[in-house]
Amino acid sequence: MTILVIDDDRSIYETIEAVLAEDGYHCLTAKDTHEADLVLETVPVHGMTLDLNINGCRPMEWIQHIALLAPELMLRTVVITGNDIEEADRKRILEAGAGLVLKPIAEGELREAIRSSIGTATAGIEPVKPPRGTFRPISEDVE
């Protein structure tokens, strides 16, 4: 299974990638929403982890955009944040179908969040590739 790890902190995305690789997942990384858009346009993925504090776009708008265009992908997404999260944002994330984990996150907690949101590496679910051209406009209009 291929998981897109979206995080701009190298130590965090390398840790997530290492944990997922141990469990049999293949990981792709993106440092911001623009890179994530490009990956999603070209490679089918089974799920994502998403840092809520990424650069390149207003993350809550990006999450809602994904939820509208590829709801099955949002159901296989774990949102990770180290900041306090407003109750309204927490509600929007959960209503979109994503899992939510607060940093600092232990390996066991990360594994459990991935398994419950995305499944196991042998689950046999189909990857999701949203329709071409659906993600890029959101990221390109943000400086």
- What count of other Cβ atoms lies within 10 Å of the Cβ of residue 133? 9
- Please give the residue range of the domain that contains residue 56: 2-140
Give the CATH number for residue 32. 3.40.50.2300
pLDDT confidence tier of residue 70, bands split at 50, 70 and 90: confident
pLDDT confidence tier of residue 5, bands split at 50, 70 and 90: very high
Q: What is the pLDDT of residues 28-51, one digit of tens each?
A: 999 988 888 889 888 889 999 999
User: What is the C-alpha end-to-end distance of the chain, expressed in Å?
Assistant: 33
Please state the domain count of the chain: 1
Peptide bond into 44 cis (omega under 30): no
